[in-house]
Amino acid sequence: MKQKENIKKKLQGASGFDEYYSSIYGERWSSLKESFSKESQSVEWKVPGSQKSYFLDSASVLAAVSLPLENSKNILDLCAAPGGKTVVIASRMPSDAVLSSNERSPDRKHRLSVVVQTCLPPEINKNVKVSCSDGSTWCTRQTECFDTILLDAPCSSERHVYNDSKYLNQWSLSRIKTVTTEQWALLSCAFRLLAPGGTLLYSTCALCPQENDEMIRRLIKKFNKEKETFTFLEPNLQNIDLSTFSDVKLPEFERTEFGYQILPDKSNGAGPIYFCLIKK
């Protein structure tokens, strides 16, 4: 017990952060840190008829466009702010679909509303319903009502932490524990909101397995233990034409146990992004 406490105490701040992620990524950690130091490459997403463009990471574009939208009627973006993935999804969804774009923070919800109004033309933004609520409790009011769901979950965001000395010096393993508790509440709720036959995209910009594949493993244990209630989909990007909105070149992605990951050291600075496609 005392040894575990000493390890926990040691893995704090910049040195603890470095040691922890080095233990996960080994020799690759050096190249990842080097890629974090470089400015991330944002790409322009411009919807014809909108007032403004939205700029976002090409890895975020890839994750958003990997979500199948054909025949979708009721779509949910559960943790939508600042709004980039909402814009991408809304611009590509069927004309008769409704997208519920939710954010729990009132300030971030206001920013989300502005993005929806300015980065989408009227004929599209009229079908986007912006709300402000705790996404982890939505399933207490509704169940199995959305046929397509994006959960871009709050996460450790290690690239941001690494580039901000304040957050890097405050880092500890307890941060991961706090975040995964929140992620599980959101993911289990999102799965309950998903209609049979529907598709859920779970994504983070985290590097640690606890927030990515291990979260999906937990979903398997909870919902697939007795019988198979969901399966995994592979992203189908071969025939997607994004030229109407962007000249983005989608980055390469790597397979993980249950999903996919885009890491900046091998994707020209894009990411990190983890995503997993689930069909109920």
The per-residue DSSP string of 68-81 comes to: --TT--EEEETT-T
Burial status of residue 95 (CB atoms within 10 A of its CB: 0-12, 13-18, 19 or more): exposed
Give the Cα separation of 124 and 87 in Å (integer). 10
Give percent of the chain above pLDDT 70. Answer: 97
pLDDT at 38: 84
- Crossing angle of helices 28-37/13-25, nearest 10°? 130
CA dihedral 1, 210, 43, 237 (to 10 degrees): 160
User: What are the tens digits of pLDDT across the range 41-91?
Assistant: 799 999 999 999 999 999 999 999 999 999 999 999 999 999 999 999 999
Q: Which of 4-8, 29-33, 147-151 has the lowest mean pLDDT?
A: 4-8
The percent of the chain in helix, strand and coil, each rounded to the nearest 5, is: 45, 20, 35
Region 113-121: mean pLDDT is 98
The string of pLDDT tens digits covering residues 197-248 is 999 999 999 999 999 999 999 999 999 877 789 999 999 998 899 999 999 9
Q: Residues 139-198: pLDDT tens digits?
A: 999 999 999 999 999 999 999 999 999 999 999 999 999 999 999 999 999 999 999 999
Q: What's the number of CA atoms in the CB half-sphere (13 Å) around residue 50?
A: 24
Give residues with Cβ within 8 angstroms of 106, minimum separation 6.
132
First-to-final CA distance of the chain: 41
Six token digits for residue 180: 């995964």
pLDDT (0 to 100) of residue 44: 98
d(CA 27, CA 85): 32
Task: Return the structure tokens found at 115.
Answer: 């993005």
pLDDT digits (tens, 9 = 90+) for 225-237: 777 899 999 999 9
**Can you give the pTM of this predicted structure?**
0.94
Catalytic residue numbers read 205
Total residue length of the chain = 280
pLDDT of residue 4: 44
pLDDT band at 9, cuts 50/70/90?
low
Structure tokens at 254: 């790597």
How far lies 146's CA from each of 97, 112, 143, 215, in Å? 11, 21, 8, 21
pLDDT at 5 over 50: no
One DSSP character per residue, 248-273 reads --PPP-EE-SSSEEE-GGGTTT---E
